[in-house]
Amino acid sequence: MKDQISLFRFNNQVKILRKAQAKCEKHNITPKAISLKLLCPLLDYAALEEDDEMQDKWANLLTNMVDSKQNFQNHIFPVILSQISMDEFDFTKKSVEKSRKNIRSARLEHLYKEIGERVIDGEASETNEGSLRLGISKEEFARWMEFYIEPNILDRNEVKDLNQSQRQNLVRLGLMNILPHSEGQMDTEENVLTMLVTKKPSDERPKGAVEIRHDFFEYAITEFAAEFIEACEIAAENQEKKAG
């Protein structure tokens, strides 16, 4: 039995090493030497992986770590990858993609235009300039939205796709945070839009007591999760998939 397990581990390590080598050759990656203190634990964890898709993530992580043009020599990423399922990985990846700043900026631009077209104080503005219709600049608007709406907050319906143990695991690994709901903060775009058409915000963040409700929580993806996903993905392969 011991020999069978040892052979299984060895075969997995060879498979992942070959995958990483193929990725380096395909994407013209010049490998660099990495510390055995980093390589050995990675191969030890990877040796236990049975899922083919997850083995590909191990190969990606190894490829990025030996890429001479990148700096992904992180001792924590192999530990996290060894403790996450494919479903949890996919959920984290999708959540990270939705929280990208370019998507956020496009959303803010859309909301700014939308609110600029609304009625202010019961009367429609006659000007066509968004900043004048709204009464604040785009920079002020962005500050309010960033304060009132957590940019990395996750959709509750999507979070429900995970079971309780999966949610707890992502929180434990630092890929997701639990946020207590605050009644004192606006937590939806609609609420913020409503406030902005009735009250011109100042440059300072609103002050006042915030009542915390413990009857439910919200979840937010972390910046660390974005770094982890980036380390486990080959950028060129993602571009190929999008192009295809």
101 and 74 fall within a common domain: no
45 and 106 fall within a common domain: no
CB-CB contact of 13 with 78 (8 Å): no
Residue 233 placed within a domain = no
Residue 243 placed within a domain = no
Cα dist. 166→160, 176, 213, 229 in Å? Answer: 10, 11, 23, 17
Q: By residue range, what is the domain housing residue 175?
A: 93-226
The dihedral over CA atoms of 226, 228, 231, 233, expressed in degrees to the nearest 10, equals -70
CB-CB contact of 152 with 170 (8 Å): no
**What amino acid is encoded at 7 in this protein?**
L
28 and 145 fall within a common domain: no
Residue 231 placed within a domain = no
Residue 55 placed within a domain = yes
112 and 76 fall within a common domain: no
Q: Which helix (H) or strand (E) holds 58?
A: helix 52-66
Helix (H, G, I), strand (E, B) or coil at 80: helix
131 and 48 fall within a common domain: no
26 and 114 fall within a common domain: no
pLDDT at 33: 92
pLDDT at 105: 58
70 and 152 fall within a common domain: no
pLDDT at 200: 44
pLDDT at 142: 62
20 and 136 fall within a common domain: no
pLDDT at 159: 87
74 and 121 fall within a common domain: no
Residue 43 placed within a domain = yes
40 and 106 fall within a common domain: no
Final residue of a domain: which of 49, 83, 117?
Answer: 83
From the number of C-beta atoms within 10 Å of its C-beta (0-12, 13-18, 19+), residue 151 rates as middle
Q: What angle do CA 104, 107, 109 make, to 5 degrees?
A: 110
Residue 33 placed within a domain = yes
Residue 244 placed within a domain = no
Final residue of a domain: which of 83, 116, 144?
Answer: 83
Final residue of a domain: which of 83, 103, 134?
Answer: 83
97 and 76 fall within a common domain: no
Cβ count within 10 A of residue 40: 10
Residue 236 placed within a domain = no
CB-CB contact of 26 with 35 (8 Å): no
**What amino acid is encoded at 113 in this protein?**
K
CB-CB contact of 180 with 219 (8 Å): no
pLDDT at 71: 80
Q: In the structure encoding, which two tokens stand for residue 212, read together?
A: 């915390």
Q: Count structural domains, the chain.
A: 2
Residues of the chain with pLDDT under 70: 100-151, 180-217, 238-244
44 and 129 fall within a common domain: no
Cα dist. 100→30, 107, 119, 152, 218 in Å? Answer: 28, 11, 31, 9, 19
Tell me the DSSP string of 103-162.
HHHHHHHHHHHHHHTS-BTTB------HHHHHSS-HHHHHHHHHHHS-TTBPPHHHHTTS
